[in-house]
Structure formats: C-alpha cells, structure tokens
Amino acid sequence: MPYTSTASKEKYYAALAEAENFNLPDDWQDGRELLHGIAIDPSWTPDVDDAISVARSSDGNYELRVSISDVGSFLARKSAIVSHAEEMGWSHYRGERVVDPMLPRRISENCLSLQRSQERPVLTTRISINENGQPIHTRITRDRIITKRYSHTGANRALRQGYEKSELRELERVADIAFIARGGTEVEGFVSEEVEGRKLSQHPNQSAEFIVRECMVMANFCIAGFMKAKEIPALYRNQALMPQRKNDLPEEVIDLLRRKLGYATYDPESKGHVGLELPTYAHATSPLRRFSDFVNHCNLAAYLDGQRMPYPVNRLGAIATRLNMLEKSKEPQWLIEGDHRIVQALQRAASRSRK
C-alpha cells in the first residue's frame, strides 16, 4: 500500500503490518451480553465508533446505552498501532472520505467498526436517567452488539413519520430532556431556540444530529465522572474560560467569542467544561478516530480487568500537551472565519450604540 500518512513512514508501515495480523480471538464473545443498537452517521462513514439504544427500567427511569467500539480490550498492547495513532492524534478527513485514518483501515473500517448487522465487541456505558434528564447512575460493561445503521437523512425521515413508540422517538425524548437538564447549552455550533422561556433543542430537520450529539455529551460526561470517582487516570476535556454574555452582541458572535476565548484543552486533571456547563468532561466516544478517546478506553479496559494502567498519570501530561499543540497548529476554519465575523459584528454593535 502506498505511503499516504501524515505520521512517519516507519510508523505507518509498522502499524499496517501489525494490523494485517490482527484478528479478534476465538473466545471474544464469551461473557458479553448481546445488544442491538442504532448507529446514526453520514451514509459514507466507514469507521463507526458508537451505537445507541434506550429502554425503560422497572423503576420508570430510562436506561441510555452508549456502546463504543472496544478498542481498549484488543489494541492497548499493540505497540506499532498505538505508536502510529499517538503520532497521528486523530483521523483526517477530506470531504466525504477518510484520507488518513488514525488506526489502520483493517481495524477502523472493518474488524472493530460497528458495521451493519455484524456482531462487534463494545464497551457500553449504561446510564440511568430520570424523567428530569438527570443521570443518576452509571455502569460500564463489556458487551457485543449488532448494529442497525441510519444515515442522518434516513433517521430524520423515520422520525418525521411519527411512530411514537419507536426507539428513535424514545432516544429523541431522552436527548431532549438531557439537553434541557444541563441548561440547553450549545454543542459544537448546534443552534437552539428559546420559546416561552424554555430552550428547545431541535431544528425540525436536525433531530438525528441532535440525538447523537446529546447522547455523546451524556456518555462523555458520565464516563469522565466514572473515571474520576474510581481514580482511573484519564485525559479530561476542559474549558475553563468563557466571556460573559453581552446583550448588545448578536448570538452568533457570542458563540464565536466563547469558543475563541475559551478554547477547550486536554489535561489529566478535571477542571470542568464551562461551554457545556458540566463539572467534568472527557472525550471517550470516538476511539477509532481520536487518540484522546483511545487512551481513555485503554485505561477503562485495564480497570475492568484489574490490570496495570497502560496510561498512568505521569504519561498523560505529555500526551495532553502534544494533543493540545496539534489542535492549536491546525486551528479549525470556523475560528479563522470567525475572526472576521467577530470584527464585523462588533463594528455593527458599536454603530448601533452611537445612534
């Protein structure tokens, strides 16, 4: 295979060679409950990390299950694959293509990707959520899953058909109450509306995207809390600075200012995420695509097995520093474009104030 990676050539080919010999062990299904879940991704996505499902518990609460590809149980000791992933930091995309995967394609798009109707190993975060949208208990289990896949368009079409008892409709309900419970805070540019003093969460054509985002935020929050409570070393995602709202500035400028001035970073210490209004947060739902999530999954798997942590605290500081530098060096385009929009909006606000 030709060399196409942004990582070093030596690490790239070493990871490919190790991946070619990778297979799940014959007994990988032993002791794992069989689940059925829904994955909602763009139709072209080959590297599917997560699937979601929900059920009502006997106590009337919801049990939200976020099942994530179980990379930690099978890849933590694969030195060449891990070394390449660490150097990459995350998978690279261009349009509707994965041009440079963090993990070799045999793994990220086949063996550990939650492909349609294929049984795959997962680490499931089981979150008990009350009617007010508050998580009250979290368990993490090893399971196996068969996934039903939806594109965003397909999921939105199914939701518009109005089947009130469908699992998608239940997931939408859970996402909505969870969103409102944490104050209706914006996520990654998702726009909410305020109607009669209550922040509503969905654009009528974006329900599927909203479901995925809220379920992932809930899972990341609960995994971070679980790791903190159990004293499992983790890479937390912190955002400690956010400017106060100024009523004379447009909403989109406030959003840009908040994200520009309160840039989120990785750290082995939990400091909270102001932008999401959450006391602790971590990235843990995309271990096929993002090294921070990979690290957290490897430590979770070690904890479940009672083994030594592959990423102790004294290693996490250096990893966090490097990931933060990588993010800073590849500042997203919305920040670059946002600078110009901020200047224009501030000029308009100043002009209005002079009138």
pLDDT at 353: 47
What value does the CA radius of gyration of the chain take, rounded to a whole number of Å?
Answer: 21
Structural contact between residues 296 and 284, judged by C-beta atoms closer than 8 angstroms:
yes
pLDDT digits (tens, 9 = 90+) for 141-187: 999 999 999 998 899 888 888 654 588 889 999 999 998 888 765 44
Side chain identity, residue 282:
A
pLDDT digits (tens, 9 = 90+) for 67-114: 999 999 999 989 999 999 999 999 998 888 898 999 999 999 999 999
Partner residues linked to 194 by β-bridges = 199
Dist CA 346 CA 257 (whole Å): 11
Dist CA 115 CA 324 (whole Å): 31
Dist CA 220 CA 224 (whole Å): 6
Name the stretches of the chain with pLDDT < 50: 164, 186-205, 242-243, 245-246, 332-338, 353-354
Side chain identity, residue 57:
S
